[in-house]
Structure 1
Amino acid sequence: MPKKKRQCDEAQLKWFEEALERIKKATGARTQVQLAEVLDVRQSSISDAKRRCSIPAEWFLKLYRSHGLDPDWLSEGVEPVYINASKAKIPADTLLRETPAPYGRMNSRGRVVPVSTMAGVDKEAATWEPKPIEELSVPESFCRPKLQVVKVDSASMEPVIGRGAFVGIDRDQNEHPDGDLCAVYFPHQGLTIRRVYMQGDTFLLKAENEKYSDLTIPAAEMDQRTVGRVIWVLQNLSPM
């Protein structure tokens, strides 16, 4: 009987795909044809490697010689990117913007997203629009089709959410379950994040910090003023 071919398990396939993706990004190869040219191998060799979920050691050696790349970074994503930076074709900072982020699932691939101020573009406007001020790498598992990330500039939700924290808001979610954290816009003030409770024909927006007053909004205005629900918070818990 013919010998059964060895099958890759899920973990091996994930490792292979991530390592191959690092090779493509570091060399600028977008297709299998281009990758074969960079590695000076046949296209069938790449297909064979994928079937085995194994990257030949000689590929890593070739990439060190041609691009100065560190085999440990190619294989495991461990920095530095380059051993010989003088042969670098693409700046390391550009490559690292797409590397795994330190939060979320193990080895979750990161995505760079814009971060807005709480004030937005214009605090006088009737609706809130984001004003990007920086970027943040977050795991893909943290992303949503309408994700909005803001940097908190208020202490109203301390100690749950500290000043300077990054907050992920899903703009597709406009429901207001009691006790959930929602991002709500107040003209002339900007965005605020509070726990929301419905009380008759009004909504109570409750602060965690006792030094801040609770806010109220007529129920009829709540849908229009709600930017979305908070789905995650990233912050430094260590004393500054």
Structure 2
Amino acid sequence: MYLIIFDVDGTLVDSQNTILHGLQVGFEAVGLPMPDRRTALSIVGRSLNEAFADLVGPTRIDLVPAMAEAYRQSKISRRGQGLDIDPLYPGAREAIGSLRARADFLLGIATGKALRGVRHMQDTHDLHDWFVTIQTADTSPSKPHPDMILRAMAETGAEPHRTLMIGDTAFDMEMARAAGARSIGVTWGYHDQAMLTASGADRIIHSFPELERALAEVLDFDEEPV
């Protein structure tokens, strides 16, 4: 049995606009200027408090709780209004559906989001029951700590050499390596190909239709479903 774990933001869904809005709310809450777009998006994948801490630096670490809470409350409010709808990337549903149909695959999620955010994504795109294990910032340290993957393997009984993380950031690749798992980096998210390669990605793909072939190469399984 193979365990394939997906990141969410920047991998399954294009959430850059809603993330930037939340970060803006957080910075405004403490009277600080928002960083430039590239800098702000570079922390996507980290858990919320760690993301703000990375952006404000050690001298303003005391502001992080207020910033994170402003972000959370903004998300709750906007979702209640039917806002913050993040689209799936092209080909995501088809690729996941193809993997889900295989008897030799289990699918999981490992994300810096809270579980509430994952449930919102599942509600939006009708993805309930697609993932047998969901690991979030509610119960694990921030990426690149390996805890999310270790928990996912423990829950499913998957072995490290049959476990693979798919993500768009160096944090995902480093997390996989620390857990003894394999990894595939995707280039449509928030970190570029050079960063993904440098952080240990076993393969790089540029679109979802490339995924199953890349999985077969990295994990050395039969590409045809069983």
Higher relative contact order (CA 8 A, sep 6+): 2
**Which structure has more strand as a fraction of its residues?**
1
Asked if Structure 1 and Structure 2 have the same fold, meaning a TM-score greater than 0.5 normalized by the shorter chain, the answer is no
TM-score scaled by structure 1? 0.21
Greater Cα radius of gyration, structure 1 or 2: 1
